[in-house]
Amino acid sequence: MDDTLLERLDILVTSGQITDQIRRYVLQKATSFASEHGIELTEGNAGSFITHFAMACARIGRGEPVVEIPASVQEVADRHLDLVEVARTMFPFDASTITGAEVGFITMYLCVLLGRES
């Protein structure tokens, strides 16, 4: 994993935007997904994903999930229903607290990581 990805998470912790617990959770989940699929996490392919995932965990944890999702992102998610199920299990929260929009965003990032979408 690029040092820059670790630095991103450190900045989010230092500035109080995420907890160290979220930092560790995101690292574990992202690393596990990458390892499972033979992907190397770099700044180029995972910078936005890591940041988004961490911030999503923080806002869902606060009870403030995003509810709006652009049609273009929803269309990507609809094309990859297998990854929708993976995305749904990425969060460390009860499924009832996670919106379809949050799942859709993560689905899109997983698609990009796997090279299914550009």
Partner 1 sequence: MTIRIAIGGLKKEVTERVTKEIGGDKVSVIVTSDFEAAKKIKSGQADYYFGACNSGGGAALSVPIGILGYSNCATVAKAGGKPKAEDIEKLVAGGKIAFGMAVESIEAAVPMLLHSLFKKHNLE
Number of separate helices (H) and strands (E) present in the chain: 6, 0
Asked if residue 83 lies in contact with residue 52, where contact means CB atoms within 8 angstroms, the answer is: no
CB of 55 to partner 1, least distance (A): 4
d(CA 32, CA 43): 17
Residue with tokens 């596990």: 32
Binding residue count for partner 1, defined by CB under 8 A: 27
- Identify the residue among 6, 7, 21, 75 touching partner 1 (CB under 8 A): 7
For residue 104, the Cα-to-chain-centroid distance in whole angstroms is 10
Q: Of 35 and 40, which CB lies nearer to partner 1 in the complex structure? A: 40
Query: What is the pattern of x (binds partner 1, CB under 8 A) and - over residues 38-77?
Result: -----x---xx--xx-xxx--x------xxxxx-xx----
* Residue ranges in 92-111 that form contacts with partner 1 under rule CB under 8 A: 101, 105, 108
Q: How many beta carbons lie within 10 A of that of residue 111, not counting itself?
A: 19
Regarding 17 and contact with partner 1 (CB under 8 A), the answer is: yes
- Is residue 90 classed as helix, strand or coil in its secondary structure? coil
Q: Which stretches of the chain bind partner 1, using CB under 8 A?
A: 4, 7-8, 11-12, 14-15, 17, 43, 47-48, 51-52, 54-56, 59, 66-70, 72-73, 101, 105, 108
